[in-house]
Chain A
């Protein structure tokens, strides 16, 4: 038997007479509307109204589907609980499982004992938040609606308890309610429950479509009934601080902004204004020629100095210094708070695995040069310069200016330094090291 029928606002039509409920998508024909309304009226008082209506619909559809693209659903009492039929793009959730319409034959029977409610709407749409105190409770008639939530009428007060939750004690104080528990509570609780009403009054429960933004709430570390300890809801819109959005990016062709501190270096500009390393004969950005001595050197913000390529193919841009190996000893941060290094510290070069096995070193930017500093460790830092025939270990605490094409070994991890701010080799000779020497 149908208790409450909460109508979901949106396009479409919801019908209810007695124990028969129906819903259609907006593209249903007047003939289909008339059929469903008449059927619901006629069967409203029947103890097996749902079964009769479903059986009739199946026989009609078996002879040919007049509106295969239209989504609709009918629900009513059967011999053992609620039965129904889904047609076209429609879906139903009974608290335990989904029913969706298969492509063939284009409709599906529904037999369920909702726990606690049956959600019906268009396939693919997010099911609405159940609001037990909603005034959108259809007692009889035909109204616009994108679906419905049906609460069975024989729910006893015993079923209103929320003690089945993993940690029911949390619910005693609504302000302590973990937001994902709210969803579960609403699924497991019946409509008139005082507890459920309390939960809806929680300040965490107001976001449309979902209960809250757990990523911004205190984490209790307790798992939810769905097995998740942390949830960040992406459906309730950006946080208030982000709602206005950031400033638009600079226009195409604008000088790029370098992260971190800006360093001025002396360079030569191409006729389009790109700053290049002195001695360059063509611009590393636009390839336009730079005639030696034509333009006097000028000071300008240093561009990034190329990239480091790790042996797994990851490319890291050289716009700041990098650290290899374990981080300096600092006070521990809260779990999940993001990167562990303070602003301005060298960025970690992440190889995965144990940082201790990578030795200790830094790759730093000095003027137009990229320099590797050995930090002194048993693992050591090794260099393989272009044209060399073997690896060379750096002395503890020593430094070396890298030449483009140099390989550096930090333990078992090898990176290659690529720098466009030199005369470029052709693509065909790029892997031989020819033309790389400054």
Chain B
């Protein structure tokens, strides 16, 4: 059977990056310059946009950052309309679907790594715009933030369809504002809440029609789970506050607070915090 990705032998399925609908764990064929195992995400129908997409990735944080997923190549297969993004494998899955159960400390550190990656992007003049547990990958070397949504057309903010993790999208983006430091900080806080709690920031969002779900986020307030440990609840609350100017100064500040919590060996029994935005 012909491999679905030219130049690679497919070993199995993998978590896709950059909003690609599918990805494969592969071994490269005749490519000693690539590792033995890579993930190839299929950016469907994007071959004609290869220059635009490669230009978006042509900045320092996508080249060898310790906190961003390692990207090797963008490829167009002979005769294909798809673009293939070759990246390092995430053997631990994603924060949304980890291969093994994660404790609270590991989740906090994973979001901290994503926050550091986001800060690197911000300092290079780039807002990520789609940080979520699904874009936080768990590699053997630690958590890594995946690339932003590369398939998205200009002006597209998010997906509001069920399963699209709309709760991780800053309501400001739904008002039409462009992605920013503040919107990424919101997404970091929401990602942490989503990974730690069974209670949704916006109840029943997944059951809603897209327009209803979007209005629920736009006009509602996030409901924080009071059962979460106080220090983490404080971080989340500060990130998802409605006024962007009241959020942490930077994604780096979020990372440092989470790392401080994780390295202090805080127990999940340190108690909840009152006064969450209800």
**Chain A residues numbered 229-273 whose CB sits less than 8 Å from any CB in chain B:** 229-239, 242-243, 245-254, 256-259, 272
Check B268 for interface membership: any CB of A closer than 8 A. Answer: no
Check B155–A427 contact: CB distance below 8 A.
no
CB closest residue in chain A, given B71 = A234
How many residues of B are in contact with the other chain, CB < 8 A? Answer: 87
Q: Are A304 and B242 in contact (CB under 8 A)?
A: no
The segment out of B122-130, B191-199, B229-237, B256-264 that lies at the interface is B122-130
Is A223 positioned at the interface, with any CB of B under 8 Å from its CB? Answer: yes
B40-54 interface code vs A (CB 8 A; 1 in, 0 out)? 000000011111101
CA distance A185 to B28 in the complex (A): 16
Min Cβ gap B105→A in Å is 24
List residues of chain A with CB within 8 A of the CB of B242. 285-287
- Known contacts: A242-B58, A303-B175. The answer to whether A249 contacts B127 by CB under 8 A is yes
Please give, as numbers and ranges, the residues of chain A lying within 8 Å of B174 by CB-CB distance: 306-307, 315, 418, 420
- Residues in A with CB closer than 8 Å to B75 are 228, 230-232
Docked-complex contact A338 and B51, CB < 8 angstroms: yes
CA distance A215 to B59 in the complex (A): 14
Distance from B79 Cβ to chain A, minimum over Cβ atoms (Å): 8
Residues in chain A near residue B125, CB distance under 8 A: 245-249
**Minimum C-beta distance from A123 to chain B (A):** 7
Q: Which residues of B have CB within 8 Å of A381?
A: none
Q: How far is the CA of A249 from the CA of B30 in the complex (A)?
A: 41
The distance in angstroms between the C-alpha atoms of A347 and B77, with both chains bound, is 29
Tell me, in angstroms, the Cα distance from A141 to B110 when the chains sit together. Answer: 44
Given known pairs A231-B75, A238-B58, the reply for A427 and B219 (CB within 8 Å) is yes
Q: Which listed residue, B35, B77, B219, touches A430 by the CB 8 Å rule?
A: B219
Complex Cα gap A286–B241 (Å):
9
Contact of A228 among B6, B123, B244 (CB under 8 A): B6
B178 and A227 within 8 A (CB) = no
> Are B48 and A335 in contact, CB atoms less than 8 angstroms apart?
yes
Q: Is B210 an interface residue (CB 8 A)?
A: yes
CA A314 to CA B149, docked complex, whole Å:
13
Task: Determine the distance from Cα of A258 to Cα of B178 in the docked complex, in whole angstroms.
Answer: 7
- Give the CA-CA distance A187 to B32 in the complex, in Å: 8
Interface residues of B in 40-96 (CB under 8 A from A): 47-52, 54-55, 57-60, 62-64, 71-79, 88
User: Which residues of A are found within 8 Å of B31, using beta-carbon distances?
Assistant: 183, 226
* Contact of B30 with A245 in the complex, beta carbons under 8 Å: no
Near B by CB (< 8 A), chain A positions 10-30 give none
Chain B residue contacts of A250, Cβ below 8 A: 180-181
Contact code string A203-241 (vs B, CB < 8 Å = 1, else 0) = 000000110000100000001011111111111111100
Establish whether residues A252 and B250, one from each chain, have CB atoms under 8 Å apart when the complex forms: yes
In the bound complex, how far is the Cα of B220 from the Cα of A287, in angstroms? Answer: 11
Assess whether A228 is in contact with B176, with CB atoms less than 8 Å apart. no
Given A251-B181, A252-B244, CB of A242 within 8 Å of CB of B220: no
Q: How far is the CA of A317 from the CA of B243 in the complex (A)?
A: 19
CA of A235 to CA of B63 in the docked complex: distance in angstroms?
Answer: 6
User: Which of A40-48, A62-70, A89-97, A152-160 is near enough to bind chain B?
Assistant: A89-97
Is A319 close to B, CB under 8 A?
yes
| Cβ contact within 8 Å between B36 and A248 | no
Which of B7, B47, B127 has the most chain A CB atoms closer than 10 A to its own CB?
A: B7
Neighbour of B244 across the interface among A187, A253, A320, A335, CB < 8 A: A253
A354 in contact (CB, < 8 A): no
A230/B157 in contact, CB under 8 A: no
Partner of B63, one of A234, A314, A425: A234
Residue in B32, B47, B178, B243 whose beta carbon sits within 8 Å of that of A127 in the complex: B32
Given A228-B7, A235-B72, A347-B155, A245:B60 Cβ within 8 A? yes
B160 close to A309 (CB less than 8 A): yes
Q: Name the CB-closest residue of B to A237.
A: B63
Chain B hits for A226, CB < 8 A: 6-7, 28-31
Contacts of A148 in B (CB 8 A): none
Interface positions, chain B 1-24, Cβ under 8 Å from A, are 6-7
Contacts of B185 in A (CB 8 A): 252
Chain A residues closer than 8 Å to B276, beta-carbon distance? none
In the complex, B273 has a CB within 8 A of chain A: no
Q: Is the CB of B60 within 8 A of A242?
A: yes
User: What 1/0 flags go to A285-322 for Cβ under 8 Å of B?
Assistant: 11110000000000000011111010111111111101
- Is residue A184 contacting chain B, with contact meaning CB distance below 8 A? yes
> Is B103 positioned at the interface, with any CB of A under 8 Å from its CB?
no
17 residue pairs bridging A and B, Cβ less than 8 Å apart: A93-B32, A127-B32, A183-B31, A183-B33, A228-B76, A230-B47, A230-B75, A232-B54, A242-B58, A242-B60, A246-B59, A258-B178, A303-B177, A311-B210, A320-B155, A418-B211, A424-B218
